[in-house]
Amino acid sequence: MSEELRIKAETIKQSLKAPIDSITGYFGFLNEDSLSEFLQEGAEDYEKLKQTSFELNDTVNDLLDVEKINSSDNKDEMEKKIRHDIRNPLNVIIGFSEMMLEDLESEENQLENFGIIENIHSEAKALNDQLSSLVNFSTNKSDSSSSKSNLDISKIMDLIETKKNTKEPIPKATFLIVDDNDSNRNFLKQFLKRQSHVVHEASNGKIACDVLNQEGSIEIVLLDMIMPEMNGFEVLSFMKGSNSFKDIPVIMISGLQESELVTKCIEAGADDYLSKPFNSTILNSRIKSCIDKKRLRDKELSEIRKGRRIQAAMMPSELPDYAKAINFPAKNISGDFYDVVKKDNNSCYFILADVSGKGVHAGMLMSKISSIFSYITENFSDVSVEDLTRTINHELQSKSFEGMFATAVLGHCDQKTFTFCNAGHEPMLSVLGDEINYYKSSGPPLGVVDKNLFICQEEKIELKSNLKLAIYTDGVTEGYKENGGMLESKGVEDIFKENNCQDSIDKIRNILIYSNEVKLHDDITLLGFEF
């Protein structure tokens, strides 16, 4: 064993024990008799504070065992472990002392005890600040000044005048605390319960995943980074990879104060990062920020669900026997829509459109097109498809939709003829046995060209037995198959050649949605006809 290493370890131990001795020494100055009435409500906090303070000395002795240090192959990792494991009890001491100070500041007969608890709190914070420089196994000696206690134990600090700021109330929420250290969990639990939050606990990552699956009300997760079995990064990855948990805000917690860890956490999807020990003001601020963020997300999701219900109501509730369809949004509200208006048992008008952009304006544009289409086709029985297309284009020329447009296929079919206009949309597929045809756009997208210049010519297809037609958005052809390749037009063509219309749509749904939901990048809408 290196004599230099032994001396270094002992030096570090003594440097740490000086402020620890100060912390434990302060308890001899506390008037526990005068605290007795106060302790009826805060006894648990006080006992935990006192117990942890005295256990800290044993923790340091164990961590700085020379034999353990000497047997370590990686001294840098050993340093990190020591700093991490010492910050755990320091976190508890700082946290519980802050809660006691909050309770004591309103008790006029507790001024002396307040000052002593304040000293314990200050000493623990000072030790935490010095920890990185103290725990250093390099050949350079630690700063000798860091081994001295920054407070004189024989002198009780004068009571610091406390400024009572009006605190904005923190909304109540349901938390999951994930930490393998019992003391840390206990402190966070007490801290949160004081604010009337609901708290669930997990002592490791695997239990955390079980709690998330069992409890449907978790709104915020406080997640320790360093844990056995399943660490914080693994839990975070599990949550962000799940549709059920990906929107739950996560605050990562670690006793290792390293910038690369912060970056790693944020890149992995964490909403925030806290270093042990916690500053109660910062902890409250981060918690409130995450709760506000969660509430905003919930509000947005609620609005999206409302939008989806409205959008669903715009889709036809019933299709003719010869028509089949699918509409599936990749995210939020779909920019695609279709409609079919039955005129009688053998004829109908139809539209399939893909609106540019996303969000409110896209939804308004879609609603506008749908309203015009429905009004005209429901009230007029002999309107031509070309006139219908031209009228919708004209109505989209308003300033409200400036810069926006929609590609669309509009048409009418009866017993003999399928008449349609393709306004800047994907080619329509026709399948009759081995005969394959694509009908490309015959005009510009709706809303782009002035009404006086807009031309989109009608095309007609004579209806024959076993004829299949497919109209779809680019989300279908650009969707990914399970093997990673795009479905493309050839994929749609092959499916429609081998199957009837309903089975073709079901197969495309299975390929693009159920097998590869994570790879769904765009809205999927497909309208098929089979005669």
Distance between CA atoms of residues 116 and 119, nearest Å: 5
pLDDT at position 157 is 34
State whether residue 245 is helix, strand or coil.
coil
Q: What is the pTM assigned to this prediction?
A: 0.51
Distance between CA atoms of residues 496 and 437, nearest Å: 12
Alpha-carbon torsion angle 329, 331, 336, 338, nearest 10: 30
Regions of the chain short of the pLDDT cut 50: 1, 139-167, 517-518
Q: What is the DSSP string of 158-171?
A: PPPPP--PPPPPPP
pLDDT at position 162 is 34
Sheet holding 272-275, edge to edge: 198-202, 174-178, 220-224, 250-254, 272-275
Distance between CA atoms of residues 117 and 31, nearest Å: 11
Residue 509 has phi, psi (to 5 degrees) of -60, -45
Q: Residue 437: which H helix or E strand, with range?
A: strand 435-439
Amino acid code (one letter) for 4: E
pLDDT at position 304 is 63
Distance between CA atoms of residues 523 and 531, nearest Å: 27
pLDDT at position 445 is 96
Cβ distance 63 to 119 under 8 Å? no
pLDDT at position 473 is 94
Residue 116, both tokens: 């002593």
At a CB cut-off of 8 Å and minimum separation 6, what does 481 contact?
Answer: 487, 491, 511, 512, 515, 516
Amino acid code (one letter) for 113: N
The structure tokens 């349901």 sit at 174
Distance between CA atoms of residues 46 and 35, nearest Å: 10
Note the Cα 13 to chain centre separation in Å: 43
Distance between CA atoms of residues 131 and 460, nearest Å: 81
pLDDT at position 33 is 65
Cβ distance 188 to 222 under 8 Å? yes
Distance between CA atoms of residues 377 and 391, nearest Å: 12
Distance between CA atoms of residues 336 and 362, nearest Å: 10
